[in-house]
Amino acid sequence: MHDELKQAIYLIADEMRGMATVGGHFAKNPYEVERAERIRELAVRLVALVDDHYDEDAIRSIFSNVGFVHASPAVGTDCAVFNDRGEILLIQRRDSGLWALPGGLAEIGRTLSESALMELWEEAGLRGRVVRLLGLFDGRRWGSRSKVHFTHAVFQIHCDELTPRPGLETRDARFFAADALPELFMGHDRIVPMCFELRDGAAYFDPASSDEGDMPSHQRTE
């Protein structure tokens, strides 16, 4: 089989594995768990059809290994949307009632920017286009609450229509000025004010010289 076709099948199977992992984690009943496991099993069989080195049992073991899923930091995509008054869009989380940038975990099979646009639609009911990468924030250094090492990729997004509507995972969505921010979710309480600073500047990333746990100094790309 042609190598390019093999690679395409591997990526399709990995996307299915990712769907199964997320679906199983958030399953609300045994039927949803069973469907998630079925998707994972189909991904295993798909890889086994084209892989010359591993049989189904070996592939199944790899796909079920938690270390395989969390071998690298988890990546989240967040959206910085500003209106004409310079206010930023925030969503109110349904679970905690705290406010945050629209966003979530990047999905396998989508680019980071595609994931950001999808999260914006699902959580705030807005369609837009990515203007640029605003910053990369290491959750350990910005106070994020997560069980895993988490990195925030924040994109600045332009929307022609700026009337937000909350989604299934959000209670509310509205714009806030820099000096009138609501109670923000952990991590976002630091990142959101930074977004105002970065709006008209270069993209930000955490400098390598920062000590873990400290608020990093500003490091910007040219």
The per-residue pLDDT for range 12-31, each reduced to its tens digit, is 888 888 888 878 877 889 99
Per-residue pLDDT at 1: 63
Q: 11: Cβ–Cβ under 8 A, 6 or more apart, which residues? A: 109
The per-residue pLDDT for range 156-166, each reduced to its tens digit, is 999 999 999 99
Give, in order, the Cα–Cα distances in Å from 161 to each of 118, 157, 170.
Answer: 16, 12, 19
Same domain membership, residue 162 and residue 84: yes
Per-residue pLDDT at 190: 95
CA separation for the pair 149, 77 (Å, rounded)? 14
pLDDT-based confidence at residue 222 (cuts at 50, 70, 90) = very low
Q: What is the mean pLDDT of residues 53-65?
A: 77
Same domain membership, residue 53 and residue 34: yes
Same domain membership, residue 90 and residue 15: no
Same domain membership, residue 199 and residue 113: yes
Same domain membership, residue 189 and residue 79: yes
pLDDT-based confidence at residue 148 (cuts at 50, 70, 90) = low
- Domain count of the chain? 2
Strand partners, 129: 158
Per-residue pLDDT at 120: 98
Is a pLDDT exceeding 70 seen at residue 219?
A: no
Is a pLDDT exceeding 50 seen at residue 216?
A: no
Residue range(s) defining the domain that contains residue 58 = 3-69
Strand partners, 80: 156
Same domain membership, residue 87 and residue 63: no
| 44: in domain | yes
pTM tops 0.85, yes or no: no
Q: 118-141 in b/e burial notation, b at 16+ Cβ within 10 A?
A: ebbbebbbbebebeebbbbbbbbb
| 221: in domain | no
- Token duo for residue 200: 């008209």
pLDDT-based confidence at residue 70 (cuts at 50, 70, 90) = low
Per-residue pLDDT at 65: 60
Same domain membership, residue 127 and residue 106: yes
Between helix 30-50 and helix 56-64 the angle, nearest 10°, is 130
Mean of the per-residue pLDDT values of the chain: 86
Is a pLDDT exceeding 60 seen at residue 51?
A: yes
